[in-house]
Each structure stands twice: as structure tokens, then as C-alpha cells.
Structure 1
Amino acid sequence: MTDVTFFTSSDGIQLAWREVGQGRPIILLHGLFSDSNVNWVKFGTAERIAREGYRVIAPDLRAHGQSGKPHEAVHYPQLILVRDLRELIEHLGLDDFDLGGFSLGARTTIEAVLSGLKPKRAILAGTGLDVFTNWEKRSHFYVHAIDLFGKVQRGDPHWLAIQFMKTMNIDREAAKLLLGTMRDRESKAALAEAFSMPTLVVCGDKDDDNGSAIELANALPNADYAEIPGTHMNSVTRPELGEAIARFLGKGGR
């Protein structure tokens, strides 16, 4: 496991990140209930990207991993993860970087770009076009899973999510607060205008949790699509994820 570094956010919460490699910076955001180690480091994705000459910066999102997990609602305003991302970028003094994420990290990347953040290249992994319109449905599912924690058996639709929360030792109170920090968007029209940069949409061949990844790629003016093996839960464990991202980053040079 790589060393963990911390900075203090504007609301006083300690936020953690890991780094792998040296070179052009790329920030990678993990998925819900995961952390930077499991999503990007443990299965070699960060190292694969770093071998191409990149400084991989992978934060633990608020309420996850080694970052702070406050239990007060004041620490969870709308789009707090975008604010945390902007503050990390400012803390590191970055003005030219690439940005991507998996699932929740992809939605956070989308919201950050829509808010005016301008990475040179973007990566949207583990997500499809419905990521815009199904947040409330999916967040309600996970809130219900938190409420059912310890009460369901194998075969229940919430069982896998609960097992992953147990594996990751999730702070359920903090996670429930975080799940309320995004809303559905009624229109997808802003996507094409905001995502003018080269973008990789990469998704498992058995992952349709957030709708069609192909449709998402087709909705963007400058996107490549890559299909890798796996479901929403296990595609991050596959070496093909790192290979797809490395190929994309190498395509346009640094």
C-alpha cells in the first residue's frame, strides 16, 4: 500500500490521498463505499498508469477510507465532493491535469466539469448515460441497505452492498449523509458542451448499473469507448481497466 498524505478542507475535515508514480498529474476518484487503495492501487491500475509517465493522485473521498467521516449534516452540503476535489487541486497547486473516476467518482468528475473545472482529458469509468437521472433511485437503495445492515440474508437485493460495506468497514452514518449530497439532473444536454476535452468512457461488459456506457460515449463530442470484462462490482479488479486507461492517455501524448 502506498503512503497516505492528508490536508485539511475548508470546513476542517482531514482528507487523505495516495500518490503513485511521477510525471503528468492525473486525479482518479473511487466509487461508493470503496477507497483509493481498493479502487486504484490494490489491483495495479495506478501502477499501470504510472508506468506511462504519470503522477497518479487518488484521494479517499469524504466519508471513505482514511478521510474524515463527520456525522454532522453541516459537513455534507450539495456537491461537497466537487468542493473537496477543487480544494485538493488548489492544495497541490495543479493547473494542468487529467481527471477521472469510477461510478460515484465518475459522477463527481461530471459534476466538476459541469461546474467549470477543465482537465485536459477525462475518464468516466463504471458508468453510463443514466448516471444523470438515476442518482436518487440508487442512493435510496443504498440508504435502505444501510438501514437493513445485519438484517438480510444472501439472496436479498441489498446483500452484496452490505457485504461490501462490511469488508470496507464503512461508517454508515457518514455514508448516509454523503448519499444526500447529489440530485438527479433533468437534462443531459449540458454534457456535450462541457465535455469538449478528449474523454474515455470505460465500462465492464456486464455492468449496466448506471445505464448504457456506449450511449454515454455517443453523447459526448470527443469520446472513446472501451469495454472491459466484469460487473460493476469486479471490473475494478481487472488489469484491463489499467490497460484501457493507459492506452487512452498514451493516444494523445502528454
Structure 2
Amino acid sequence: MTATSLQRWTASDGVELAYHEVGAGRAVILLHGLFSDAQLNWVKFGHAARLEAAGFRVIMPDLRAHGASGKPHDPACYPPGILARDLRELVAGLSLADYDLGGFSLGGRTTVQAVGEGAQPRRAVLGGMGIEGLQRWVLRKRFFLDAIDGFDAFDRGDPHWLTVQFMKSQKIDRVAARLLLDGFEDARMDWLEAFTMPTLVVCGTEDHDNGSALELSQRLPNAIYVPVPGTHMSSVTKPELGHAIAQFLAG
């Protein structure tokens, strides 16, 4: 596994957040998915190493309530749009004027909000994300809230069971995770109009968790769609994901 440096910083509301970094060159910020973290999403399966080898400085935050970042139990720490706000503050704090930005699943949704609200990366990557994951997030988050609330009540075979096992493996703080989810809202479709930069929409061929990635690519002004092997859970373990991102960003 690639060795990364762990850096810590303090958000404007006083919450201590963390990011992992490796490599040198053009900066690319990669945001992980829900209940995951930077190490699992980007480091463990070689994606960060591939980007480092391609000449990138890879910056991988642990989102609020995840990984090595703070997990406060104060509802005031989770207003709507907090993850995009954290991202803006990180970009400003690192004085990044020229950078690429991408994310997987929740990280992709956060990227959509950040760009929609004014972030201007050179290139963007949306992984494991489709139109339904943006338009119908309130319904999707209900599934995750039910998984948290019924944590030990689900039997193998129930759709919530695998989600609970994943949360257990990641040692998720359920109080913090629930507060974060409570603040999530559906994305605004006019945010997509801001994606004038070249954008990669990359998704597993068996990943239908967030709807059609192809349809999402067709709704964006300047996007390409690249399928990779796997489901929503397994596609992040495949080398093809990192290869597709590195090839796109190096283009």
C-alpha cells in the first residue's frame, strides 16, 4: 500500500479535519464515498499510486464524520452543504489555484455541489454517480438512516445488512453519520450547467446504485462516460478505475 502523509487542519466552525497526501505535481483532490475514507477508496487498491506515478500531487480528504476527521455530535456542525463548504475551505487553505477535482459516490455528489457553487477545477471526475443519485438523494439517504437506526436488527439477505456490515468494518460513528445524513438535500440540476470543464463520468458496469451514469454524462456540457468493471462496492477495488482517472487527468 502506498505510504501517504496525514495532514490535519481546522474548519471555520472549529472541527478538526484530515487529509492524506502523496506525490508531487499538479494537484488533484479526490473525495471518497459514504461510510468509506481516503485510505479505503483511493489508497488501498492502488489508485493514488497510479496517479502519483502519472505525476500528480494527490490530496485525499477524510470527509467530516469519516476516517481520521472529526466526528462531532453537535447538530450545528452538520448544516446543509457542509461537505462542499469543507472542500472550499481546504482548497483556499492550500492556496490551490490550479487543480483537478473528483469523487466517488458521495464524493461525486459533493463535487457536483462544489462546482455548482463556484469551484473551478481544470478537470472533474464523477465516479459511481448517476442522475438519480443527485435528483433523488432524499430517498437514498432514507435507506442509510434506516440502516443506522436498525443497525443490529437486519438479517443476512436484507438490503440493509451489507450496508451495516460495511459500517461495522469501517467503525463508523453512527451518531455523527446520522447527523451528517440528516443535513443532505437533493442536488440542484442547474449545478450541472457549471461543468464546462472536461469531465469524466466513470462507473461500474454493474453499478446501478445511483441511477444511470451514462445519462449523467449526457446531461453535462463537456463530459465523457467510461465504464469500468464491477458493482458500486467492487468497482473501487478494480485497477481499471484508477487507470481511467489517471488517463483522463493526464490528457
TM-score with structure 1 setting the length: 0.96
Q: Does the Cα contact within 8 Å between 2:115 and 2:191 map onto a contact in 1?
A: no
Deviation at 1:2, TM superposition (A): 2.0
Equivalent residue in structure 2 for 1:83, among 68, 82, 85? 85
Deviation at 1:172, TM superposition (A): 0.3
Deviation at 1:131, TM superposition (A): 2.0
Provide Cα deviations, 1:15-53, integer angstroms capped at 9, x if missing partner.
000011110000000000000000000110011011111
Summarize the alignment of residues 127-146 of structure 1 with structure 2, pairs less than 5 Å apart. Answer: 127-146=129-148
In the other structure, the counterpart of 1:56 is 58
Provide Cα deviations, 1:66-123, integer angstroms capped at 9, x if missing partner.
0000001000011000110011111111111000000000000000001011111000
State the identity %.
Answer: 59
Does 1:188 pair with 2:189? yes
SS at match of 1:202: strand
SS at match of 2:202: strand
Summarize the alignment of residues 228-243 of structure 1 with structure 2, pairs less than 5 Å apart. Answer: 228-243=228-243
* Separation in 2, partners of 1:246, 1:18: 18
SS at match of 1:179: helix
Aligned CA RMSD, in angstroms, stands at: 1.0
In the other structure, the counterpart of 2:109 is 107
Q: Does the Cα contact within 8 Å between 2:25 and 2:56 map onto a contact in 1?
A: yes
**Corresponding letter in the other structure for 1:218:** Q
* Separation in 2, partners of 1:171, 1:10: 22
* Separation in 2, partners of 1:22, 1:229: 29
* Separation in 2, partners of 1:228, 1:220: 20
Most deviating of 142-151 and 127-136: 127-136
SS at match of 1:6: strand
Deviation at 1:156, TM superposition (A): 0.8
Deviation at 1:182, TM superposition (A): 2.1
SS at match of 1:143: helix
In the other structure, the counterpart of 2:30 is 28
Does 1:148 pair with 2:144? no
Provide Cα deviations, 1:179-224, integer angstroms capped at 9, x if missing partner.
1222124x62441x20000000000000011110001111112111
Runs of 4+ with deviation above 6 angstroms: none
* Separation in 2, partners of 1:188, 1:83: 19
TM-score with structure 2 setting the length: 0.97
* Separation in 2, partners of 1:61, 1:14: 11
Equivalent residue in structure 2 for 1:44, among 36, 43, 46? 46
In the other structure, the counterpart of 2:224 is 224
In the other structure, the counterpart of 1:210 is 210
In the other structure, the counterpart of 2:200 is 200
Q: Which runs of 5+ in 2 are unaligned?
A: none
SS at match of 2:214: helix
* Separation in 1, partners of 2:133, 2:123: 19
Corresponding residue pairs, total: 249
Q: Does the Cα contact within 8 Å between 2:112 and 2:191 map onto a contact in 1?
A: no
Deviation at 1:134, TM superposition (A): 1.5
Equivalent residue in structure 1 for 2:21, among 9, 12, 19? 19
